[in-house]
Amino acid sequence: MERERRKRRKFTDEYKAEVVRLVQTSGKSVKQVADDLGLTETAVREWVKRAQRNGAGPTLKLDERAELTQLRKEVRELRMERDILKKATAFFAKHGS
């Protein structure tokens, strides 16, 4: 039985980049992402390889980049607060109440 060929579809570079980002950040395999989006595994795998060759990691939009910067700042502050609290707890445990 002859396999039915799919009609060749064209995708924008932005769409391909978004699919690559999904593969890189979702924790899903290339096959899972391809199946979820109705794409061929071969096409998605090629897009990922091409992005890696071009040195393109997951690209962030401007608002996502701003949010990432803000979250990193918050993490730094929270770690500093945690460290201060650890030291204070150790001090009071050592010197008793």
**Mean pLDDT across the chain:** 87
Residues 6+ apart with CB under 8 A from 29: 23
Looking at the domain assignment, is residue 2 inside a domain?
A: no
Contact 79, 52 (CB under 8 A): no
Kindly tell me the sign of the dihedral angle through the C-alpha atoms of 44, 45, 48, 49: negative
Residue 86 pLDDT: 96
Does 39 map to a domain? Answer: yes
Angle at 36 between CA 53 and CA 55, to 5 degrees: 10
Name the domain count of the chain: 2
- 14: pLDDT strictly greater than 60: yes
**In-domain check, residue 25:** yes
* pLDDT-wise least confident of 14-18, 59-63, 64-68: 59-63
Q: Give pLDDT tens digits for 80-93.
A: 999 999 999 999 99
**For position 2, what pLDDT does the model report?**
62
CATH of the domain at 43: 1.10.10
* 4 within domain boundaries: no
